[in-house]
């Protein structure tokens, strides 16, 4: 409990004030004892001076308390102990009484000083704790405001991604769709120059669409806005599906894509089949792009593997892996760690002449880690590269195939038209109407144009 202010000693009180309070206390005690002398006589000559010592020690500390003790002893011995007007004390009881008074004054001064120091230490700690609490509350408020701003930014980013996904990719797909229609001769026969212009237009559109998709996927991964499924899936089936989609590119470049003979047929992973296929297609496309004609790209699925020190998975759980190895130009050793950085294209190996945005491997690694796995690389310049995709393993007993029971079954044109018409953009609606109205358009082309949104 805090004492009234007038009963508390101020540790910042000037030295003169502290010792002055001792002199004043002794003077007041002397006056009171002088007035009570007719009543008390020689009895208890030092009793009143005890209060002076207590007051002086309380307000002034040890030094003023001892000053009050000494002055009180002198005053009592000189004026109130027989023989008066003399400092010589004859009676033994009076001598004992004076000695006890001096010892008591010393003890009172010491205890008072110690109590005050302890009290002021406690008050100082309490003030510091209160200050720290105020600072902590201010920091918590700032953190909460920052969290709210971050949430608002995340919501704004999500809204932006949703808008951009439709507003940019939809017209690009419409442009590519109408370009395909013109190349198929729907609008009439084409001259060689017109075919060349349309081919360049389509290539530029596909490059722009790939760039937009890469940037949006990277932004979604950073915002954790990607939808990731976790289903038991045969790894080899996903890998072969990705290989089949890259084979035309490889054939056009004169690169052989093959499955390793040691590939594990029963390897199962728990993850998102579409995202894993996206990663593998990106790895295979890069491998084909950076392998010279006549080279080879090998795919190998492995089960019951232990991640190496280059991953974030070391010592955790059971894993399966897909290795995509090429005989291409490789990566300089000093730049291997940088290939997963956004917009980075290493020099001396996989360099600018091959094109690209420098986002494919960044997105692939982030997707792999969102699934719960990782993506690593080992490479030597001039000797090719090997990218390893690590995925959480599952047992075959609990897994079911993730691909359709009839993989060759292709939706009809009416279904494609229905998919396209779902988009509000007039160009896309007109493209869907045109596809639906012309039975000569191949199903595969229609399906390719129908995939307007992820």
Spatial distance between the Cα atoms of 174 and 427, rounded to a whole number of angstroms: 6
- Domain ranges, ordered by start, for the chain: 5-134, 168-225+409-454, 230-403
pTM for this one? Answer: 0.50
| Lowest pLDDT segment from 38-52, 315-329, 376-390 | 38-52
123/230 Cα distance (integer angstroms) = 58
The encoded tokens of residue 49 equal 């001076």
Quote the pLDDT of residue 312: 63
Burial of 239 (0-12, 13-18, 19+ CB in 10 A): buried
Distance CA 161, CA 228 (A): 17
pLDDT at 424: 40
Strands 319-326, 296-305: pairing kind: antiparallel
Secondary structure (3-state) at 258: strand
The angle at the Cα of 383, spanning 382 to 384, to the nearest 5 degrees, equals 105
Residue 401 pLDDT > 80 = no
Q: Environment class of residue 190 by beta-carbon count within 10 Å: exposed (0-12), middle (13-18) or buried (19+)?
A: middle
Res. 72: pLDDT tops 80: yes
CA 142 to chain centre: 17
Phi, psi of 33 (to 5 degrees): -65, -35
Distance CA 264, CA 299 (A): 11
**Are 246 and 257 contacting, i.e. CB atoms less than 8 angstroms apart?**
yes
Would the pLDDT of 169 be above 80?
A: no
Q: Which residues of 17-28 are buried (b: 16+ CB within 10 A; e: fewer)?
A: ebbbbbbebbee
Other C-beta atoms lying within 10 Å of the C-beta of residue 248: 9
Q: Any idea which of 75-84, 245-254, 367-376 has the lowest mean pLDDT? A: 75-84
| Residue 162 binned pLDDT confidence (cut-offs 50, 70, 90) | low
Residue with tokens 């599952």: 394
Please give the pLDDT value at position 1. Answer: 44
SS3 at position 443: helix
Q: Give the pLDDT of residue 261.
A: 67
- pLDDT tens profile 280-302: 999 999 899 889 999 999 999 88
Q: What are 447's two structure tokens?
A: 């399906």
- pLDDT, one tens digit per residue, over 415-428 is 333 433 344 455 55
Average confidence (pLDDT) over 183-189: 83
For the chain, what is the mean pLDDT?
Answer: 76
Beta bridge pairs of residue 269? 233, 393
| Per-residue pLDDT at 186 exceeds 90 | no
Q: Does domain 230-403 have CATH number 1.10.275.10?
A: no
Measured distance between the N- and C-terminal CA atoms of the chain, rounded to whole angstroms: 69
For tokens 């690694």, what's the residue? 365
């Amino acid at each position: 409990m805090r004492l009234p202010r007038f009963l508390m000693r101020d540790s910042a009180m000037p030295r003169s004030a502290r010792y002055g309070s001792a002199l004043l206390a002794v003077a007041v005690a002397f006056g009171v004892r002088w007035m009570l002398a007719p009543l008390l006589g020689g009895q208890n000559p030092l009793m009143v001076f005890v209060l002076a010592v207590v007051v002086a020690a309380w307000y002034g500390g040890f030094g003023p308390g001892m000053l009050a003790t000494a002055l009180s002893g002198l005053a009592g011995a000189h004026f109130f102990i027989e023989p008066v007007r003399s400092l010589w004390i004859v009676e033994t009881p009076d001598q004992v009484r004076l000695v006890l008074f001096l010892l008591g004054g010393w003890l009172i001064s010491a205890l008072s000083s110690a109590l005050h120091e302890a009290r002021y230490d406690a008050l100082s700690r309490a003030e510091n704790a209160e200050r720290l609490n105020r600072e902590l509350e201010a920091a918590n408020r700032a953190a909460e405001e920052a969290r709210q701003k971050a949430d608002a930014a995340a919501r704004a980013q999500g809204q932006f991604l949703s808008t951009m996904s439709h507003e940019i990719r939809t017209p690009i797909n419409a442009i590519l769709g109408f370009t395909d229609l013109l190349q198929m001769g729907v609008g009439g026969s084409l001259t060689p120059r017109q075919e060349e212009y349309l081919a360049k237009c389509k290539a530029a559109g596909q490059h722009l669409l790939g760039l937009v998709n890469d940037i949006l996927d990277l932004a979604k991964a950073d915002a954790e806005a990607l939808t990731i499924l976790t289903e038991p899936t045969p790894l080899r089936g996903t890998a072969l599906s990705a290989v089949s989609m890259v084979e035309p590119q490889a054939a056009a470049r004169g690169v052989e894509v093959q499955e390793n003979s040691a590939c594990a047929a029963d390897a199962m992973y728990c993850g998102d089949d579409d995202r894993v296929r996206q990663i593998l297609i990106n790895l295979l496309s890069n491998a084909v792009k950076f392998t010279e004609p006549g080279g080879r790209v090998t795919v190998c699925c492995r089960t019951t593997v232990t991640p190496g020190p280059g991953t974030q998975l070391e010592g955790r759980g059971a894993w399966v892996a897909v290795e995509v190895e090429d005989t291409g130009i490789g990566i300089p050793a000093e730049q291997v760690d940088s290939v997963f950085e956004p917009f980075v294209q290493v020099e001396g190996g996989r360099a600018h002449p091959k094109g690209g945005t420098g986002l494919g491997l960044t997105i692939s690694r982030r997707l792999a880690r969102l699934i719960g796995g990782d993506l690593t690389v080992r490479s030597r310049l001039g000797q090719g590269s090997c990218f390893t995709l690590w995925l959480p393993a599952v047992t075959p007993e609990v897994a079911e195939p993730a691909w359709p029971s009839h993989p060759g079954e292709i939706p009809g044109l009416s279904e494609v038209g229905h998919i396209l018409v779902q988009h509000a953009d007039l160009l896309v609606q007109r493209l869907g109407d045109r596809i639906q109205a012309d039975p000569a358009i191949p199903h595969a082309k229609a399906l390719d144009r129908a995939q307007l949104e992820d």
